[in-house]
């Protein structure tokens, strides 16, 4: 499933005289409606929404409790964010890692991947067509975020 309807906040901080490379990250989080996830197969989407309890827990939310900038070379750095991820009304602690690069226009592009289990969020992997089509318990989440001043 894909989603492009994400609300994200990220407050990068910069040391005096070092306006081109951030040295900290405060106030990082994102949220998006479960219904904004799309697979291209509306029948499977509907099953996924039901499994993720979209009617009662309509958003997927991440809130960082702390974030660390890990310097890299040139315009590259990494971010490690400890926080909580809420899916289907269940909240679990997670650590998100992202590889970031500062672009010429000052924007920051961060990419990463994370793996989780649906069962950790009390989600039963959905099936379709009387079980003929099944999803696994393991999920891989790939993300790209562009942060602009």
Name the fold adopted by 7-147.
Answer: Lipocalin (2.40.128)
Q: Is 142 left (phi over 0), alpha (psi -120 to 50) or beta?
A: beta
> DSSP class of residue 129?
T
**CB neighbour class for 80 (10 Å; exposed up to 12, middle 13-18, buried from 19):** middle
Q: What is the pLDDT of residue 128?
A: 66
| Distance of alpha carbon 126 from alpha carbon 135, whole angstroms | 6
Helix (H) or strand (E) holding 25: strand 24-33
Residues 97-122: pLDDT tens digits?
999 999 999 999 999 999 999 899 99
pLDDT band at 89 (very low <50, low <70, confident <90, very high): very high
- What is residue 51's predicted lDDT score, i.e. its pLDDT? 86
Instruction: Specify the residue for token string 């291209």.
Output: 40
pTM of the model: 0.86
Confidence of residue 131 (pLDDT cuts 50, 70, 90): low
Cα(12)–Cα(14) distance, integer angstroms: 7
């Amino acid at each position: 499933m894909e989603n492009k309807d994400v609300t994200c906040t990220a407050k990068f901080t910069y040391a005096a005289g070092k306006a081109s490379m951030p040295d900290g990250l405060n106030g990082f989080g994102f949220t998006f409606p479960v219904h904004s996830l799309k697979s291209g197969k509306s029948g499977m989407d509907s099953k996924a929404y039901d499994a993720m309890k979209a009617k009662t827990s309509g958003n997927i939310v991440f809130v960082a409790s702390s974030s660390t900038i890990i310097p890299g070379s040139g315009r590259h750095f990494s971010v490690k964010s400890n926080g909580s991820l809420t899916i289907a009304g269940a909240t679990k602690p997670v650590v998100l890692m992202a590889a970031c690069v500062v672009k010429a226009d000052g924007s920051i592009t961060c990419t990463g991947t994370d793996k989780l289990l649906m069962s950790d969020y009390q989600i039963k992997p959905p099936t379709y067509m009387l079980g003929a089509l099944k999803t696994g318990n393991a999920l891989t989440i790939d993300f790209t975020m562009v942060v602009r001043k």
